[in-house]
Amino acid sequence: MTRAVLSIGSNLGDRLALLQSALDALRPWLVAVSPVYETAPWGDVEQDDFLNAILIADDPSAGAEAWLARAHEIEDAAGRVREMRWGPRTLDVDVIAVGDVVSDDPRLTLPHPRAGERAFVLAPWYALDADATLSGTSIKDHLAALPPADIDGVRLRADLVLA
């Protein structure tokens, strides 16, 4: 069994519908879906806030490269354009972790190299699976190591639900 943790985010267009499109595309393998959070953008590019969520999926026949290919297909279907690093996007699907796979391949580094620094990944993941670990450290401990302002910038949107 290959369990993948995927982070989804959108800050252009109908953000919730775009997140839903990612969930729908992954539905055959979907195990769990986090609540939706709204977060300020990462980096120095002026842009609108993101909606973010975490998905956990399982597919015994899929390795890390298959999860990456699926992520890119889902982004392409949503009209994702890669013009600017950390720029606005219709849909971002990041492969955060695939089972116990560790890879330093620049095309797909696993676990995701910055996931432990990003409250918009950690907070939804913790809400979904409080016992989860990333690189041998609990998600709770990763969250505790972040500056309070980072955590405060991740706002639960209980009024928005992915189904």
Judge whether 107 counts as a catalytic residue: no
Judge whether 104 counts as a catalytic residue: no
The domain of 122 spans 3-156
Residues in the chain: 163
Number of domains in the chain: 1
Record the tokens describing residue 36, joined without a space. Answer: 């939706």
Confirm whether 162 is domain-assigned: no
Judge whether 80 counts as a catalytic residue: yes
Confirm whether 121 is domain-assigned: yes
Q: Which of 15, 80, 118, 150 is catalytic?
A: 80
User: Whole-model pTM?
Assistant: 0.93
Confirm whether 125 is domain-assigned: yes
Confirm whether 163 is domain-assigned: no
Q: Which of 15, 70, 94, 150 is catalytic?
A: 94
Q: Which of 48, 59, 82, 89 is catalytic?
A: 89
Q: Which of 92, 150, 152, 155 is catalytic?
A: 92
> Which DSSP letter does residue 115 get?
G
Say what the pLDDT of residue 43 is. Answer: 72
Contact 3, 56 (CB under 8 A): yes
Judge whether 159 counts as a catalytic residue: no
**14-35 mean pLDDT:** 98
Q: Is the pLDDT of residue 1 over 60?
A: no
pLDDT tens-digit readout, 76-104: 998 877 666 666 889 999 999 999 999 99
Confirm whether 161 is domain-assigned: no
Would residue 34 be called left, alpha or beta, if left means φ above 0 and alpha means ψ between -120 and 50 degrees?
Answer: beta
CATH code, 56 = 3.30.70.560
pLDDT tens-digit readout, 41-86: 877 778 899 999 999 999 999 999 999 999 999 999 988 776 666 6
Closest CA to 90 of 16, 34, 36, 4: 16
Confirm whether 141 is domain-assigned: yes
C-alpha 120/C-alpha 3 separation (Å) is 20
